[in-house]
Chain A
Amino acid sequence: MPSLLLTPQERDVALDAFQTTRTGREKPSQFWKIDLESLVPNASAGGAAGEVAIESASPRAIACDLATAARDHAALFARAFRQAIEPQHKFAHLALANARLGAFIYVPADCAIDEPIVVRYRAADGESIFPYTVVLAERGARATIIERLELGAGTFACGVAEVVTEEGSDVTYASAQFAPQDARVLFTRVARPGRDARVAWASAELGAALSVSDLTITILQPGVDAKIATLFFPTGSQHVDVVSNVDHRTGDATSETLVKSAAAGRGQGRYLGNIRIAAHAQHSDASLRDDALLLSKTAHIDSVPALEIAANDVKAYHGATVGALDDESIFYMTTRGIEREAAERMIALGFFEPAIDRFPTEALREELRAALQAKVTS
């Protein structure tokens, strides 16, 4: 088993920070009964090893596990590791304290990689793992990373992805989670793009009993094009809790957040969409689109957009809908001979399509469609 990344002293600090940081989701909700504090098993135990497998076809990029990164690429690794996460990311402290499983992706300047780099984390039944992915993209680099979780029954996964990029780079980081029904999955993903860089998160939360996802882009340089797309679909008795944060701390940057969610059965979802534009971040252009579809009377989605805009010369758009399937749309499709259930399925899948479209590779998009189709049908 690789050793922990932090020294015992650093680890104590991280665990202490985890214990004392609030989740930021204390707002009471009519239906949401889960106390996020109560779900962490053996917070101090350090976690099982788990496994990581990294597929990279690029000879110029570095794609390695954390131990190798810390040992052989220490200077590069230090330019990204702990450079994007911030103190308010409660669960990142826990993942950091227990970090030993993970991956480091380094894409050198002007290196464009077409084939996605795939990082797979595996955990056996009942294990707790703390996967930590660090990405450093240099000036003008371009890469797509796909993170996959292959979790056994009853697993607990608390992970971090940190993406640090430089000027004019272009990084897409996609994660799709289809964990078993009794797993718990908590991820914090934070990006800090460089000047004129494009960075995109695409995340799908489809499995697990409980899925907590925090997607953050911190804009510190002008010219950034920041994109977040996330979809989730709690069914049965699943809970999904998603937070997105786009923090415009510098002006002349664009961000676009797209959230598509549905809930069926007794599924419960909660989404908090934060957009902050600092007082000096003039000429920011931020949009947030958040649509939720309720497919049963016992399903809930609580959707809370929060725009905090301190600058006066900005563009900020926000649109949100929560509703059931549209009767007129169903009727229209049935008048073409399509059975009602099939029409409902097509409309529900179509609802997710704009978010699916943000994911890399047709294979992954097809996998998402198949998983969503199974959920709509069940």
Chain B
Amino acid sequence: MADQGLRIAGLHASVEGNEILKGIDLAVERGKVHALMGPNGSGKSTLAFSLAGHPHYDVTAGTATLDGEDLLALAPDKRARAGLFLSFQYPAAIPGVKVPNFLYAARQAVRPGELTPAKFRALLLEKMDVLGMDPSFLGRYLNDGFSGGEKKRLEMLQMAVLAPKYAILDETDSGLDVDALQDVGDTIQALRASEEGNATGFLIITHYPRILQHITPDVVHVMIDGRIVKTGGPDLAQRIEREGYDALREETGALA
């Protein structure tokens, strides 16, 4: 169907009155991996937060739909229940809330009544194993006292457990070592290749092309100063690795 996908058109967004996104057009299909690259401050995280519904980000123009549903009209929890997932660059620590209790509440919210607690626990342990997470994570409070790498793994665990229709990964690769990157890549690949109709579509926001050695994107976009200035295949990421963003900036006439 024509309206399938995570479709963003003419999106403008501001933070505290400053326009950050200046007209974004993007469409992610299920089962496809889009990489969104760009230098610091180009607006990548603003796009992620705007789509997830962060209250500090004002969408001033444009549309965003998820399989035809108007995302921007929904509260953040309803966006998640519609099938959107955001992996945070800096997830909040919530003392006193145990990891499995939180994950079960999230799973029940997104897919009500589908799993008994026992089956849920089995699923959790299976996904944790893929991510190389020790079962002791289950006794810990949500992100409380977690290292940067542990937080990222927990974000990936949540994504694996919720199996969203579309996932936005906001710099999930930053601060991860090679082994962790491989585990993240495996988790993405498993969701991307889920059986027909259940596959996840990805928008992977990254500063460095490094993660793309572990997961090959279908499409690469480059964002500079709130606009997508170039879209291409995996070779675009390689070019950025060689030449940096400045060459693209000159070529496309984007504002420095």
Asked if A334 contacts B75 (CB within 8 A), the reply is yes
Within 303-353 of A, Cβ neighbours of B (below 8 Å) are at 326-329, 331-340, 342-343, 346-347, 349-353
Within 36-52 of B, Cβ neighbours of A (below 8 Å) are at 52
Asked if A350 contacts B92 (CB within 8 A), the reply is no
B109: interface (CB < 8 Å): yes
Chain A contacts for B94, CB-based, 8 A: 329, 332-333, 346-347, 350
A126: interface (CB < 8 Å): no
B23 to chain A, nearest CB (A): 25
Closest to A329 in B: B92
Chain B contacts for A335, CB-based, 8 A: 52-53, 76-77, 79-80, 85-86, 88
Asked if B91 contacts A350 (CB within 8 A), the reply is no
B117: interface (CB < 8 Å): no
B78 to chain A, nearest CB (A): 8
B134-146 interface code vs A (CB 8 A; 1 in, 0 out): 0000000110000
Known A-B contacts A333-B102, A334-B80; the reply to A354 vs B110 at CB < 8 A is no
Asked if A331 contacts B55 (CB within 8 A), the reply is yes
Size class of the contact patch on chain B? 20 to 34
Chain B contacts for A327, CB-based, 8 A: 55
Asked if A340 contacts B95 (CB within 8 A), the reply is no
Chain A contacts for B141, CB-based, 8 A: 350, 353
The complex places the Cα of A349 from the Cα of B105 at a distance, in Å, of: 14
Known A-B contacts A327-B55, A350-B141; the reply to A336 vs B96 at CB < 8 A is no
Size class of the contact patch on chain A? 20 to 34
Asked if A350 contacts B96 (CB within 8 A), the reply is yes
The complex places the Cα of A145 from the Cα of B96 at a distance, in Å, of: 25
Chain B contacts for A328, CB-based, 8 A: 92
Known A-B contacts A350-B95, A350-B141; the reply to A342 vs B76 at CB < 8 A is no
Within 81-133 of B, Cβ neighbours of A (below 8 Å) are at 81, 85-86, 88, 91-97, 101-102, 105-106, 109-110
A373 to chain B, nearest CB (A): 13
* Dominant SS among interface residues on chain A: helix
Asked if A352 contacts B77 (CB within 8 A), the reply is no
Known A-B contacts A329-B92, A331-B76, A346-B102; the reply to A336 vs B97 at CB < 8 A is no
A109-131 interface code vs B (CB 8 A; 1 in, 0 out): 00000000000000000000000
B188: interface (CB < 8 Å): no
Closest to A341 in B: B77
Known A-B contacts A346-B102, A350-B96, A350-B97; the reply to A337 vs B80 at CB < 8 A is yes
Chain B contacts for A346, CB-based, 8 A: 94, 97, 101-102, 105
Closest to A328 in B: B92
Within 2-18 of A, Cβ neighbours of B (below 8 Å) are at none
The complex places the Cα of A333 from the Cα of B91 at a distance, in Å, of: 10
Asked if B55 contacts A349 (CB within 8 A), the reply is no
Asked if B55 contacts A337 (CB within 8 A), the reply is no
A278 to chain B, nearest CB (A): 34
Asked if A337 contacts B95 (CB within 8 A), the reply is no
Asked if A339 contacts B77 (CB within 8 A), the reply is yes
Query: Which of A338, A349, A350, A354 sits near B77, CB closer than 8 Å?
Result: A338
B85 to chain A, nearest CB (A): 8
The complex places the Cα of A332 from the Cα of B105 at a distance, in Å, of: 13
A326, A346, A354: most-surrounded residue (chain B CB, <10 A): A346
The complex places the Cα of A329 from the Cα of B109 at a distance, in Å, of: 17
B13: interface (CB < 8 Å): no
The complex places the Cα of A331 from the Cα of B110 at a distance, in Å, of: 16
A144-159 interface code vs B (CB 8 A; 1 in, 0 out): 0000000000000000
B169: interface (CB < 8 Å): no
Asked if B81 contacts A337 (CB within 8 A), the reply is yes
The complex places the Cα of A371 from the Cα of B93 at a distance, in Å, of: 24
The complex places the Cα of A331 from the Cα of B94 at a distance, in Å, of: 12
Chain A contacts for B158, CB-based, 8 A: 336
B162: interface (CB < 8 Å): yes
Query: Which of B55, B93, B101, B110 sits near A336, CB closer than 8 Å?
Result: B110
Asked if A337 contacts B77 (CB within 8 A), the reply is yes
Known A-B contacts A334-B77, A337-B80; the reply to A349 vs B96 at CB < 8 A is yes
The complex places the Cα of A346 from the Cα of B77 at a distance, in Å, of: 15
Which A-B residue pairs are the 7 nearest by beta carbons?
A: A350-B96, A353-B96, A337-B109, A336-B106, A337-B80, A350-B97, A334-B76
Given contacts A335-B80, A340-B77, 18 further A-B contacts (CB under 8 A): A331-B55, A331-B92, A333-B102, A335-B53, A335-B76, A336-B162, A337-B81, A339-B109, A342-B105, A347-B97, A350-B94, A350-B95, A350-B97, A351-B95, A351-B96, A353-B95, A353-B96, A354-B95
Binding site for B on A (CB under 8 A): 326-329, 331-340, 342-343, 346-347, 349-354
